[in-house]
A and B are shown apart, each in its own frame.
Chain A
Amino acid sequence: MSISLATLIADIDQADSPERLIAAVQALATARLEAGIPTLIRALGFNNPGAAVTAVKGLVQMGDAAVMPLLTLLDDYNYGARAYAIRALAAIADPRALDVLLSAAETDFAPSVRRAAIKGVGHLHWLKLPDSEQTIAQSRTYSTLLRVFQDADWSLRYAAIAGLQALGQSAPALQPHILADLGGFQDADVAVQARIAWAIATLQSPQPVPHSFPHPHPLTS
């Protein structure tokens, strides 16, 4: 009952309605074929949000195998597709995506993409980097998150606190610095201030709260 990759791809290319397209992308995602990754990435640019969200979920399930294709096929000219790719990279959390995620966190024009990248960089799996690179990568992330915290948009500052908390948990050496920063932050926004208090409480708790961040299905926000 195995269906060939060629058939799955043909079904996507021949889909003649949005519903059929989504179903075809879903079928390819479910097959979990590494060779199908470039087609899933192509589906991010079909201008069909349902298909794109389905493809993102499929790519996240493929995990590390999808990282290099996502980075090399990143579409600089289609911002819709790029946003989905950034969300997938943030959810997979492979540190090879660091540069792309830091850049999205600081400069993407879509706040929803920035929020996903800002939170995502704090959660990267640093241990996958060579020892010599871990500290540099973490401190670059740290500076970026501190800069983002200067943004006028409350939701980006909120995301920056979530990112800093995650970084404090994933990079123990930075934790005392992050706690000191958080203690000094004052935010006029009640929601951001509450998030700061929660981040401090979480980082200070002797048994750190286990990562309660199951990666949500990246939606088209």
Chain B
Amino acid sequence: MLDGTPESQFEESTTGSDAAGAEALTVEQAIANLAHPDTSLRYYAAWWLGKFRVSDPAAVEALMAALSDESDRTELGGYPLRRNAARALGKLGDRRAVPGLTACLSCEDFYVRESAAQSLGMLGDPSCIPALVSLLEGGVAAAVKIPGRPHLAQPYESVLEALGALGATDAVELIRPFAEHPLQRVQYSAVRALYQLTENPAYGDRLVAALQSNDINLRRVALSDLGAVGYLPAADAIATAATENSFKLFSLKGLLEYAVRQSPATLSADAIKVMTLMDSML
């Protein structure tokens, strides 16, 4: 049922109150539930551990084991528990999960590959770069829609974004053609990665231009990308983009974090400028 809906930070922040009993679980119960006979309880427990960032080593180990679960299958042969376990492991910051997540990149379930790529991008361990690169095999020519499914052959957006986050500079030439992929979302992911890997402002400016897209969803994606790379020259364009304030606030937060990393000891003019804009989005 989750097919094709990558959870955004906004959905995630509301899911907790919708899910009955979210507060009732304890860490011990959630870990134990990962082995519960009821697959829906397992699925929920994996989500819960990620949501509440339970980085307890026992939780990490149980989630790592769930990456090779065989019992919970969808009609189409998907692995729901593996998907949730892979997503959760990205949030727990334990690099012991990297080999298991890397193996998930060759899982037959697209959404397991997608979740694993996202989490690997978050964990910051470059050892998975060759496996991520191998998903780009065939280049843009192979990056086409799978007949009858709502997705492409590979989770290109997540793979490209992970390569950017992991500093995979050797992959720049492989990534570059994806900036011209027919799908704009894929283009943005490539451009975002290329900006991170080259710091060439031409890529940042392309994301800024995307804020003028006619499609509000693409404008939101561009906001998220600009926030992820912390492209400071985009601040004013973000503040005036035609989307909801909450999206702009979250995007500007990424810029502020970047500005603070640039000068951690002082309040820089950049940081104050971004906060002034953020205040106006409250």
Query: Which of under 10, 10 to 19, 20 to 34, or 35 or more describes the interface residues of B?
Result: 20 to 34
Q: Please state if A198 and B282 are interface contacts (CB–CB under 8 Å).
A: no
Q: Is the CB of B279 within 8 A of A112?
A: no
A201 B267 Cβ-Cβ under 8 A? yes
A116 within 8 A of B: yes
B282 adjacent to A159 (CB under 8 Å): yes
Q: Does A194 contact B (CB under 8 A)?
A: yes
Question: Mask for A112-136, Cβ within 8 A of B = 1, else 0?
Answer: 1001101100000000000000000
Closest CB in chain A relative to B134 CB, distance in Å? 34
B contact residues around A197 at 8 Å (CB): 267
The reply to whether A112 and B275 form a contact with Cβ atoms under 8 Å apart is: no
B261, B276, B282: which contacts A119 (Cβ < 8 A)? Answer: B282
Residue B272 interfacial (CB < 8 Å):
yes
Selected from A116, A154, A220, the residue in CB contact (under 8 A) with B282 is: A116
Q: A116-B282, A194-B271, A198-B271 are in contact. List 13 more A-B contacts (CB 8 A).
A: A115-B282, A159-B282, A190-B257, A191-B256, A191-B278, A193-B260, A194-B259, A195-B275, A195-B278, A197-B267, A212-B276, A221-B249, A221-B281
Task: Knowing A197-B267, A221-B281 are in contact, say whether A190-B260 is a contact too (CB < 8 A).
Answer: yes
In the A-B complex, list the 10 residue pairs whose CB atoms are closest, starting with the nearest: A221-B245, A221-B244, A119-B282, A221-B246, A216-B280, A115-B282, A191-B253, A191-B256, A190-B257, A159-B282
B13 within 8 Å of A by Cβ? yes
Question: What are the interface flags for B251-281 relative to A under an 8 Å C-beta threshold, 1 for contact and 0 otherwise?
Answer: 0010011011100000100011001101111
- Given A115-B282, A116-B282, A198-B267, verify A220-B256 contact (CB < 8 Å): no
Q: Which residues of B contact A (CB under 8 A)?
A: 13, 244-250, 253, 256-257, 259-261, 267, 271-272, 275-276, 278-282
Q: Which residues from B are CB-within-8-Å of A158?
A: 278, 282
Contact yes or no, A112 B245, CB < 8 A: yes
Q: Which residues of B sit under 8 angstroms from A173, Cβ to Cβ? A: none
Pick from A153, A194, A216, A220 the residue with the most CB of B within 10 Å.
A194
